[in-house]
C-alpha cells in the first residue's frame, strides 16, 4: 500500500519511516511532487493535522496522513503549543525557537512540559485521528546532537537524557510521535 506522509521535514520523515511495516510504501510530499508549504492555520494541533491531510487528499487524490506536534510548557501557560514550529517567527528556526523558550523560562521554577502529536489519516474516503503524548521538563541548556526541534532541551519523564541524547530507537519507543505512529500502524494492520 502507498501512503503519503504529508511533511517536508526530512528528519520527521526518517523518524517515522523506520517504524512503518514493510507492506507500506511511505511517500513524502517531495516524492509526489508537492513543493507547496501547506499553511497551518488551525487553532489546534488536530485542526492543523486535518488541514494538511485534506490538502494532499484533495489535490493529489492519495491516501495520506499528516501530523502536527506541539510543545506545551506549563510555566509558559501552554506556549508554544500550536505555534511550536514557528514560535520565534515564520522562518521556522529550531535554534531560535529553543532560545525563545529558554529565555522566557529564565528563573522559572516550573519547567514541566509535554509534547503532543496528533495524526490525521485520510484513507479510502474516511478520516481517522490518532495521538500521543510524553511528559517531561525543559532543561536550562541544550544537550545532545541527535533529534531535531526542541529535542535538545526536553528530558522525558523517567530519563536523565534529552531526546537529542537518546538513540532514535529509544526515542521512537517513548515519544509522542512514536506513540501516535504506533496507533496509526495498529489501525493500518487491522484494516488492510
CA atoms of 49 and 117, how far apart (whole Å) = 9
Domain ranges of the chain: 2-190
- Per CATH, the number for 2-190 is 3.90.950.10
The DSSP output letter for 94 is H
User: What are 7-62's pLDDT values in tens digits?
Assistant: 988 888 988 898 898 899 999 999 999 999 898 899 999 999 999 999 999 999 99
Reduce the secondary structure of 168-190 to three states and give it as a string.
HHHHHHHCHHHHHHHHHHHHHHH
Which residues are part of the catalytic machinery? 68
Of 8-17, 56-65, 155-164, 179-188, the least confident: 8-17
Report the predicted TM-score, pTM, of the whole model to 2 decimal places: 0.91
Task: Determine if the peptide bond prior to 80 is cis (ω within 30°).
Answer: yes
| Whether pLDDT at 192 is above 70 | no
HSE on the CB side for 100, CA within 13 Å? Answer: 20
Q: How far is CA 90 from CA 54, 77, 97, in A?
A: 22, 21, 10
> What 3-state DSSP class applies to 105?
helix
Amino acid at each position: 500500500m502507498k501512503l503519503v506522509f504529508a511533511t517536508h521535514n526530512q528528519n520527521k520523515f526518517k523518524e517515522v519511516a523506520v517504524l512503518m511495516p514493510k507492506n507500506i510504501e511511505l511517500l513524502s510530499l517531495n516524492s509526489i511532487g508537492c513543493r507547496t508549504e501547506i499553511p497551518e492555520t488551525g487553532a489546534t494541533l488536530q485542526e492543523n493535522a486535518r488541514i494538511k491531510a485534506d490538502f494532499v487528499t484533495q489535490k493529489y487524490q492519495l491516501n495520506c496522513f499528516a501530523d502536527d506536534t506541539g510543545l506545551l510548557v506549563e510555566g509558559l501557560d501552554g506556549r508554544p503549543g500550536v505555534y511550536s514550529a514557528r514560535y520565534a517567527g515564520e522562518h521556522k528556526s529550531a535554534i531560535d525557537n529553543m532560545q525563545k523558550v529558554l529565555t522566557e523560562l529564565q528563573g522559572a521554577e516550573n519547567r514541566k512540559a509535554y509534547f503532543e502529536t496528533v495524526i490525521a489519516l485520510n484513507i479510502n474516503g474516511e478520516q481517522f485521528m490518532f495521538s500521543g503524548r510524553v511528559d517531561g521538563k525543559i532543561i536550562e541548556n541544550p544537550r545532545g546532537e541527535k533529534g531535531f526541534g526542541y529535542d535538545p532541551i526536553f528530558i522525558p519523564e523517567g530519563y536523565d537524557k534529552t531526546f537529542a541524547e537518546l538513540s532514535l530507537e529509544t526515542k521512537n519507543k517513548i515519544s509522542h510521535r512514536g506513540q501516535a505512529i504506533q496507533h496509526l500502524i495498529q489501525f493500518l494492520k487491522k484494516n488492510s
